[in-house]
Structure 1
Amino acid sequence: MLETPSRALADPTIDPPPALLVLEDGTTFRGQAFGAVGETFGEAVFSTGMSGYQETLTDPSYHRQVVIATAPHIGNTGWNDEDDESGRIWVAGYVVRDPARVSSNWRARRSLAEELQSQGIVGVSGIDTRALTRHLRERGAMRVGISSETTTAEDLLERVKATPSMHGAHLADEVTATEPYRVPAVGEAKFRVVAVDLGIKAMTPQRMAERGIDVHVVPSTISYDELLALQPDGVFFSNGPGDPSAATGPIALLRRVLADGLPYFGICFGHQLFGRALGYGTFKLGYGHRGINQPVMDLTTRRVEITAHNHGFAVEGKAGETLTTAYGQASISHVCLNDDVVEGLQLANADGELIAFSVQYHPEAAAGPHDADYLFDRFIEVMERASGGDH
């Protein structure tokens, strides 16, 4: 159990109670409760986005993570009813420096603090988030606890050390849809795609539907026979939380997809699982990539894109490397210009035609940027070739 029961602040107009943040190395920060009063634990990660906090908080990829906002002023646009990426807030906790006292946006229905309170999300404000981020950059992501019910750092540290690590964590089954659902194509349906929900964001099937794709979103536990029964023109694996090495079921499913030559597109967690299915290794990054300002180069076009990221694991490999697999020739298609991390993979058949590909980042990026929109069109091109141009 990662989170203890919490309670909302009785009156948001009064001064919030003090709150304590303790990292697993004993580093301590003191501030005020933000959101619900209570206690929570998770992996401490930071996001560099200056906007899009609503999309971040409702992204299932942040399951079991306490998110630190590096932008100092958070909450000025409040909370609306249109921008959620899922049906709830998934972060384990939220850390900000200076929360907005007043929401100012014509779509806002309530404040960020009120939404955090209503969903029981424990947070802390008024701490030096710059110092906290620098510490995580130097020491790496680590477990953390936030409490507005105790002021004893030693006691909280003991509970932090008792929480599970992200290493070896299989979390996709905890965030996936319980039942299949369909996002119909806008206008004429040209293709049918089965999207395996490993923690999918709502904007992803929407981006495909806008391009004439009929999207069938299915749970992460779907069998290959159930997948084939939907008669897909292509298969998509979504983003999601956890250690890709632990997702043995989805990896086995993906290998059967590749063995049958079905067109494949994966993003984020789906990219990491694609790598493992092909025979690449994965590893945990020191502090990950999270935000909406990460520069990536598409090695097939030499174009540089500013992209949205949320990942703590990555695929092993370097630009220029190729790998002969049972499914075709694999190669690295994208790299991060900050640290050379693999950001894309592609698989070609014996004729050199692209049949499957993935990227580590988020081309659907509802909060922006939209430099990578073309990847959905690339998926359509792959499906068109596979169908012989019948669509």
Structure 2
Amino acid sequence: MADSPYAKINFTKGKGEQMKAFLILEDGTVFTGTSIGSTKDMISEIVFNTSMTGYLEVLTDPSYAGQAVVMTYPLIGNYGITPDMESRKAWPDGYIVRELSRMPSNFRCEGTIQDFLKEQDIPGIAGVDTRALTKILREKGTMNGMITTNENYNLDEILPKLKAYTVGDVVSKVTCAEKYVLEGNGKKVALLDLGAKNNIAKSLNRRGCEVTVYPAHTPAEEIISSNPDGIMLSNGPGDPADCTSIIEEIRKLYNTDIPIFAICLGHQLMALATGATTHKLKYGHRGGNHPVKDLQTGRVYISSQNHGYVVDDENVDPKIAVPAFKNVNDGTNEGLAYVGKNIFTVQFHPEACPGPQDSGYLFDRFIEMMGGTK
């Protein structure tokens, strides 16, 4: 790889009449490939996901709002689009793959990923050496980038725009517009939708819970007044420290006696609401094979993860909370147990099925905390 920050790296062979596309990183590196999906220009934060399957779940995970996703697995789209949407639409700003399957094969297939990207107005690029790209992101850290089909792009104009890009308030973008209910005969759970994947509410509903889903900016008083048996704080996108108004409401929820279970962004916001801090990882944890250790039992679980920020263990007051899980790969915090409270939080996704159901027991623990049985 050339040392010049303006080096153009072309990893594609002849593709007939397919439109060229370019991925431009903020360090000046340019990858050339072919356009997939929308042909509009896109600037976003570039992140990578190491999952070997589940590309539709990745595309419809609201936690990817404000980001463009690099799939490290080389062949994407081979089973097409299936009824496995994790939300109402796709959320990434862009999609970057090595090879896109042209002939999907699966008995549940309802269409191609190419058509899906076009319908969702998501620009993408195929034919990129995603191994080389991922190495850059691992070595230099997550950075901003642009996908464009303009062959006459001007780096001197583009690079300042890339450096200036910020993700901004994406929780408001992904949360539900109004509350809704999944009926059930068991415990009543209030789910604060910070960008919730569908399977969180379904995991509770399958265990008999009646789940009321609330928009992210719902006042704590409204949730408390509904007399829920428990409160769930969901996953979501963006920098947790930017969610200042939501953190204030979560602090009010913490000061009740209502059992609380939080996932991913919800885990981070509860930590911030109780005086801890968070920081951004160099390149984040995004994939379906991250090992996490339960510090109480010593058991290791395979987890699904999608986050760029973590809670700082050293800034957690041991009188308020203690680490409950840690990441086996890098030792970062993966969960907290709150002292004297019916509250526990995890950084990973127990509603996902990477193990395939290694950490689903955490929903059972939550129901037991509410005084019920699954």
User: Where on the TM-score scale, by shorter chain, does this alignment land: which range?
Assistant: over 0.9
Of 205, 209, 214 in structure 2, the residue corresponding to residue 209 of structure 1 is: 205
Whether 1:271 and 2:267 are equivalent positions in the alignment is: yes
Within 2, Cα distance between the matches of 1:253 and 1:202? 23
Within 2, Cα distance between the matches of 1:345 and 1:61? 21
Read off the aligned partner of 2:48 and give its amino acid letter. F
Within 2, Cα distance between the matches of 1:372 and 1:247? 27
SS in 2 for 1:241: coil
Question: What is the Cα deviation at residue 55 of structure 1?
Answer: 0.4
The answer for the alignment partner of 1:334 in structure 2 is 325
Read off the aligned partner of 1:72 and give its amino acid letter. P
Within 2, Cα distance between the matches of 1:246 and 1:163? 15
Within 2, Cα distance between the matches of 1:343 and 1:283? 13
Question: What is the Cα deviation at residue 290 of structure 1?
Answer: 0.1
The answer for the alignment partner of 2:219 in structure 1 is 223
Runs of 5+ in structure 1 lacking a partner? 1-12
Read off the aligned partner of 1:358 and give its amino acid letter. T
The answer for the alignment partner of 1:88 in structure 2 is 89
The answer for the alignment partner of 2:165 in structure 1 is 163
Summarize the Cα distance change of 1:150–1:303 in structure 2 as closer, same or farther, 3 Å threshold. same
User: Could you say what the CA RMSD is over the residues aligned between the two structures, in angstroms?
Assistant: 1.9
Comparing 221-230 and 55-64, the one that deviates more: 221-230
Read off the aligned partner of 1:312 and give its amino acid letter. G
After superposition, the C-alpha distances for 1:102-132 in whole angstroms (9 at most, x for unaligned) are: 0011111110011001111100010110000
After superposition, the C-alpha distances for 1:25-64 in whole angstroms (9 at most, x for unaligned) are: 1111111101121211110000000000000000110001
Read off the aligned partner of 2:65 and give its amino acid letter. H
SS in 1 for 2:370: helix
Question: What is the Cα deviation at residue 381 of structure 1?
Answer: 1.4
After superposition, the C-alpha distances for 1:176-229 in whole angstroms (9 at most, x for unaligned) are: 1001011122xxx22101000000001110000011111000001111221123
Whether 1:363 and 2:312 are equivalent positions in the alignment is: no
The answer for the alignment partner of 1:239 in structure 2 is 235
Read off the aligned partner of 2:78 and give its amino acid letter. N
Within 2, Cα distance between the matches of 1:219 and 1:370? 28
Read off the aligned partner of 1:315 and give its amino acid letter. V
The answer for the alignment partner of 1:10 in structure 2 is none
Within 1, Cα distance between the matches of 2:351 and 2:71? 21
Of 295, 300, 316 in structure 2, the residue corresponding to residue 304 of structure 1 is: 300
Question: What is the Cα deviation at residue 300 of structure 1?
Answer: 1.4
The answer for the alignment partner of 1:56 in structure 2 is 58
Read off the aligned partner of 1:383 and give its amino acid letter. M
Q: Which runs of 4+ in 1 moved over 6 A?
A: none
Read off the aligned partner of 1:117 and give its amino acid letter. K
Summarize the Cα distance change of 1:196–1:363 in structure 2 as closer, same or farther, 3 Å threshold. same
Summarize the Cα distance change of 1:106–1:323 in structure 2 as closer, same or farther, 3 Å threshold. same
Question: What is the Cα deviation at residue 358 of structure 1?
Answer: 0.5
Question: What is the Cα deviation at residue 252 of structure 1?
Answer: 1.3
Tell me the TM-score normalized by structure 1: 0.88
The answer for the alignment partner of 1:45 in structure 2 is 47
CA contact (8 A) 2:350 2:359 kept: yes
Whether 1:27 and 2:32 are equivalent positions in the alignment is: no
The answer for the alignment partner of 2:7 in structure 1 is none
Question: What is the Cα deviation at residue 170 of structure 1?
Answer: 3.2
Read off the aligned partner of 1:152 and give its amino acid letter. Y
SS in 2 for 1:313: strand
SS in 1 for 2:27: coil
After superposition, the C-alpha distances for 1:253-292 in whole angstroms (9 at most, x for unaligned) are: 1111111121110000001011112221100000000000
Within 2, Cα distance between the matches of 1:15 and 1:307? 42
The answer for the alignment partner of 1:324 in structure 2 is 319
Question: What is the Cα deviation at residue 70 of structure 1?
Answer: 0.3
Within 1, Cα distance between the matches of 2:354 and 2:80? 15
Tell me the TM-score normalized by structure 2: 0.92
Count of residue correspondences: 359
The answer for the alignment partner of 1:9 in structure 2 is none
Within 1, Cα distance between the matches of 2:30 and 2:355? 33
